[in-house]
Structure 1
Amino acid sequence: MNDTTIAFASCMDADADPIQNVWDRIRAQKPNVLVLLGDSVYMDFSFGFLGSPKPRGKPYRMSPEDFAAALYACYRKQWQVKSFRRLIGEVSQIAMTWDDHDFAWNNSRGRDQSDCKEAVPKAKRLISRGLFMQFKHCLQTKNSGGSDYPPPPDLAELLAGEDQGIQTVLDVENVRIVTLDGRTFREAPSRLTAWMHGEAQLEWMSQQFDQWQSHKIIASGSTLKLGGESWHDYRDYQWMLARAPQNAIVLTGDIHRNVGPLAHGDPDRFWEVVSSGAARPGVGGFLNIGGGSGRFGILKCGEHAEVRLHETTTEDGCPFRRIY
């Protein structure tokens, strides 16, 4: 069986960076698989007083019609990035999930509707899911060889969609990749009572690996412990410590930096590798507040699993590090 080379990345914004050279750098690594770990577009970012053209809070105030038009425009603009399309045309498989900025807005979630600032109403959840699935289908089919992005679905069609998650399973050679949905079922954070993914989704994830004897990859938009909004802020992290598949590798994004591999559990039960900041420049001019660009990871799965993280200023990346 051939080795599998997986490229993984997160956080890109074609409004802020329409060139996105990172995808040509990834293409040079000749990956079989591309895993996008969320924030593939940005509905909002940072604050207006720092010069952000789409400050936090703006998508929440939009009507469903305006929300759909704005989100569709973001996906269409990302598809039009030439370096991105070159990579999409060459990888054999694509897996992807979302995080807060492509689900709806900063720190957004689908459950616990009592907090109006972060909870996403059903209409916008349906719009978001429909447009995410359109983008994903376009990537996975290479848009049937065309260069034009498909037209937007009718609003009525989006609102008639299924109010459910986007979690999936992808098998490539010796690797099984389970992409989790950490937004649709997310509740207000509480380590004692709240779930990020919902217990049912975690049980489903565990079942996907029950009979799988080779490499086990979990793709998540949120980190396990780093930054805000991590698994550690929910019951999900304790569930993972007790129930995670042995030697699973969790690929995560969100925090606009590369980290890892990090061992979790005692003994080392599972591993995390973070790659975030593919093409999301910061705001505030030369201050570059909150941004991160040029970062990605390469995971090679053969007899062993080893990972290399690429930074903005290191073309060849750090040396490969063996995970197991």
Structure 2
Amino acid sequence: MTKQLIGLMILFMMGSGVILHAEDSAGPFVGTLTTTDAHLLYRPGNKAAKLRLTVQDEKGRKVGAVDSTSEAEHDFVAKFHVAGLNPGSTYQYKIETIEDGSAKLVAGGTADYHFTTVPEQRSGQVTNVAFISCVNDTTDPVWEQMGKLNLDLLCFGGDTPYADTGDLADLRNKHRHLLQRPALADLCKSVPLAGTWDDHDFGKNNANGKSAADLKENTRRSFVEYRAQGKFGNGDEGIYQKVDKGAIEVFLLDARWFSQTGPSPVDPNQSTCFGTEQWNWLLESLRASKAPFKVLLQGQIWQDKKNRETDDMYTYYAERDALFDFIKKERIPGVVLVGGDIHVSRYLTHSQRVGYDLQDFIISPGHTSVIPSLDVYHQDLEWSRVEPNQFLTMTADTTKDVPVLTVKFMDGSGQVNLAKTFSHDQLRPNTDGGLAKDLRAYWSFDGDATNHSKLGKRLDGKLEGGASLVNSQGARGGALRLSRADNQYLSVPRAMLDDNANAYTASSWVKAASLPDHGSADRSFILETKVNNHCKLPNALSTGYAVSVGFRECDDPDKINLQLYTQTLVPQPVGSQNAPVTKSQGGFDCLLDRSLFSDWTHVAVTFDSKRLQLFINGALAKTFALPTPGPIAENGGLVIGGHRAGEGRNFDGMIDEVAIWNRPLSATEIEQVYNNGSPLSLSAD
């Protein structure tokens, strides 16, 4: 192409309002917006320049101008902070170079370059937010689809970009290259961008604050340079922040900077993930939030990746569970989770975890590389998709009497692959009192095997091997009748306890037709949890006996051993950089008269991560200290009247009024159950 033709093309493009940038320019990008403030960035190229951002209202009136300088110290990225704007208002902007007193337009100046401040009112709004993680050049179709969705915010969930270095020049080049993708740049000249990081943009795969300590200074510096955010951690460390859009507030958590750098603020014997300062900020910010919907976004996932890496919240289960317990205790409504990292998209529901069902979304990858081996079993998994170019949208609608949150898993073709809608009432604590508090499962066996807790039909039992129900011979009405000779039992398909729960109570009435014979190796079980693997995915435990209550013979022919087992996590010491492991604990023996079980007998077991307690007919029979304290390991189903394999070691007789709580009942409460009846009949406000 001749120089003359190039010159004509430049003149034509300038005349048609298209501003040409140098190949090494980036932006402009809109960043954090509040009700009165706006943050933007622009890189004019590899040169120092004095720049001016001018803002106009919808009538074309100038409402503000701020100057900034692109300097080599910050890779020639200029930041702009405009204050004194009106809430809920749309503004156009332009950026000019100022040289020798003259202004020259370099970006903006047309209707496409605009932003809208956050409204003061949280009601009457429809707010659209997109989430993505794990991006590269193959993500371009996703940016194009996002451009069609009228977004109010785009959130990067980490590996945005893949840096994998601590070299400052390389980091800057990779951040700049991402922001130069044409469809992304076109999107974010009007849609605000905020983000956190994951391992690759923190410096290397599986990186934490200890293993990547020598990379942190440069990874943070480059991140701060190429994001127009109002806050980056505490100003010197970390990058955590929150973005309040009125109807929805996004908490962008930093799970990398502080991880493994010291003891956890909730357990001094385990390593921290978030660090004390970020932890306190998060709790205070959640407590103070007035947004109907609150998104906790981090790069890593909230569960176990089940590979050799340790960058997940299973490694930091103490902080994860303390956070969820805080949300529950403080009765904070509208919280949902988002993670990324694993190159698989997944949807989980943690039933009643925070006083309501905690919705958990994993969105990855934004690019075209998937990792099928990380689509692993989890007790709370509802849906997964191992496909490229994935992103997530959340629409918070507060125009309705009851606000609604709609979540969609989408892909680069614009296809909606899963859509879920939740009313604010569904994400609001509604906890029961009395014995119904934290009741997770209850089968009365009065006519059917229906579960009568809030977890509903997902825990309905299935009669196996010809097991039957009797109408009037139970401890309280009907009962489950089982024949050991026929391998009969009742199966429950899903988990009822929290992931790695730190407490439980299991209660039942039993009446044995026979018990394991003296001198035999026979065993029979009242109940035992298992990993059912309802989604048929890899890497599930083959055990899962967090709750295990069964009979076996003992040396005394007149007695029977009512034996308890549990399977727990073993925490790792501070700075270990290792994930927890699982440990079988037991059997814990309690010898009781055989004759006791020829009539209806109440058996209850409580667990609090430090000990097991066994209650017989409302009274404490024995306490067992755990050799290794810890919460329960993975589970995912239950067998009533048998052990985890179902057939073999089955109970012979009748079982009634089986109930499981996600807390340890007190001795007084267990006495109430024994004396007065079902958990539901004893509930109180």
Q: TM-score, normalization: structure 2?
A: 0.36
Residues 219/26 of structure 1: CA separation in 2 closer, same or farther (3 Å cut): same
Alignment of 1:60-75 (within 5 A): 67-75=167-175
| Other-structure match for 1:130 | 221
* Residue 200 (structure 1) shift: 3.2
Determine which of 13, 33, 46 is the counterpart of 2:153.
33
Percent identical residues: 21
* Residue 280 (structure 1) shift: 5.0
Alignment of 1:107-256 (within 5 A): 107-111=206-210, 118-121=211-214, 124-137=215-228, 163-187=236-260, 193-213=270-290, 214-227=292-305, 228=309, 229-234=311-316, 235-244=318-327, 245-256=332-343
| Other-structure match for 2:202 | 103
Q: Counterparts of 1:218 and 1:321 in 2: how far apart (Å)?
A: 18
Amino acid corresponding to residue 12 of structure 1 in structure 2: V
Q: Counterparts of 1:164 and 1:280 in 2: how far apart (Å)?
A: 33
Q: Counterparts of 1:226 and 1:31 in 2: how far apart (Å)?
A: 31
| Other-structure match for 2:367 | 279
- Helix, strand or coil: the match of 1:232? coil
Q: Is the 8 A contact 2:242 2:250 kept in 1?
A: yes
* Residue 215 (structure 1) shift: 1.3
Q: Counterparts of 1:203 and 1:280 in 2: how far apart (Å)?
A: 37
* Residue 105 (structure 1) shift: 0.6
* Residue 13 (structure 1) shift: 2.2
Q: Is the 8 A contact 1:248 1:269 kept in 2?
A: no
Residues 131/269 of structure 1: CA separation in 2 closer, same or farther (3 Å cut): same
* Residue 12 (structure 1) shift: 0.9
| Other-structure match for 1:54 | none
Larger helix percent: 1
Larger strand percent: 2
Amino acid corresponding to residue 169 of structure 1 in structure 2: K
* Residue 311 (structure 1) shift: 3.6
Q: Highest relative contact order (Cα 8 Å, sep 6+), 1 or 2?
A: 1
* Residue 98 (structure 1) shift: 0.4
Q: Deviations 1:110-140 (Å, cap 9, x if unpaired)?
A: 13xxxxxx3321xx31111111011112xx6
Q: Report the count of equivalent residues.
A: 263
Q: Deviations 1:283-310 (Å, cap 9, x if unpaired)?
A: 9xxxxxxx96310001111111120101
| Other-structure match for 1:7 | 130
Q: Deviations 1:230-278 (Å, cap 9, x if unpaired)?
A: 1121122221231134431122111112111533626435322111111
Alignment of 1:285-304 (within 5 A): 293-302=388-397, 303-304=403-404
- Helix, strand or coil: the match of 1:128? helix
Residues 23/105 of structure 1: CA separation in 2 closer, same or farther (3 Å cut): same
Q: Does 1:268 align with 2:360?
A: no
- Helix, strand or coil: the match of 2:149? coil
Q: Counterparts of 2:171 and 2:387 in 1: how far apart (Å)?
A: 21
- Helix, strand or coil: the match of 2:338? strand
Q: Counterparts of 2:323 and 2:356 in 1: how far apart (Å)?
A: 12
Q: Does 1:305 align with 2:305?
A: no
Q: Deviations 1:170-204 (Å, cap 9, x if unpaired)?
A: 11122222111111001189996011112431221
Q: Deviations 1:195-234 (Å, cap 9, x if unpaired)?
A: 1112431221121122323211111111100425211211
Q: Counterparts of 2:260 and 2:323 in 1: how far apart (Å)?
A: 17
* Residue 166 (structure 1) shift: 0.7
Q: Counterparts of 1:267 and 1:2 in 2: how far apart (Å)?
A: 26
Residues 101/280 of structure 1: CA separation in 2 closer, same or farther (3 Å cut): farther
* Residue 70 (structure 1) shift: 1.2
Q: Counterparts of 2:295 and 2:171 in 1: how far apart (Å)?
A: 29
- Helix, strand or coil: the match of 1:106? coil
Determine which of 239, 257, 275 is the counterpart of 2:344.
257
Q: Counterparts of 1:25 and 1:208 in 2: how far apart (Å)?
A: 33
* Bigger Rg, which one: 2
Q: Counterparts of 1:193 and 1:320 in 2: how far apart (Å)?
A: 38
Amino acid corresponding to residue 315 of structure 2 in structure 1: D
| Other-structure match for 1:88 | 188
Q: Is the 8 A contact 1:306 1:321 kept in 2?
A: yes
Amino acid corresponding to residue 126 of structure 1 in structure 2: E
Amino acid corresponding to residue 216 of structure 1 in structure 2: K
Q: Counterparts of 2:248 and 2:387 in 1: how far apart (Å)?
A: 29
Q: Counterparts of 1:253 and 1:38 in 2: how far apart (Å)?
A: 7
Amino acid corresponding to residue 241 of structure 1 in structure 2: F
Q: Deviations 1:154-174 (Å, cap 9, x if unpaired)?
A: xxxxxxxx6401111211122
Amino acid corresponding to residue 136 of structure 1 in structure 2: R
Q: Counterparts of 1:81 and 1:23 in 2: how far apart (Å)?
A: 9
- Helix, strand or coil: the match of 2:159? coil
- Helix, strand or coil: the match of 1:279? coil
- Helix, strand or coil: the match of 1:271? strand
Alignment of 1:305-324 (within 5 A): 305-311=405-411, 315-324=414-423
- Helix, strand or coil: the match of 1:320? strand
| Other-structure match for 2:9 | none
Which piece of structure 1 moves more, 297-306 or 162-171? Answer: 162-171
Structure 1 unaligned runs (5+)? 45-58, 112-117, 142-161, 284-290
| Other-structure match for 1:76 | 176
Amino acid corresponding to residue 30 of structure 1 in structure 2: N
Q: Is the 8 A contact 2:162 2:174 kept in 1?
A: yes
- Helix, strand or coil: the match of 1:25? helix
Q: TM-score, normalization: structure 1?
A: 0.73
Q: Is the 8 A contact 2:343 2:369 kept in 1?
A: no
- Helix, strand or coil: the match of 1:323? strand
- Helix, strand or coil: the match of 2:360? strand
Q: Is the 8 A contact 1:24 1:86 kept in 2?
A: no
Q: Counterparts of 1:31 and 1:308 in 2: how far apart (Å)?
A: 13
Q: Is the 8 A contact 2:349 2:357 kept in 1?
A: no
- Helix, strand or coil: the match of 1:133? helix
| Other-structure match for 1:150 | none
Residues 211/11 of structure 1: CA separation in 2 closer, same or farther (3 Å cut): same
Q: Counterparts of 1:186 and 1:219 in 2: how far apart (Å)?
A: 16
Structure 2 unaligned runs (5+)? 1-123, 372-385, 398-402, 424-685
| Other-structure match for 1:149 | none
| Other-structure match for 2:469 | none
Q: Is the 8 A contact 1:222 1:231 kept in 2?
A: yes
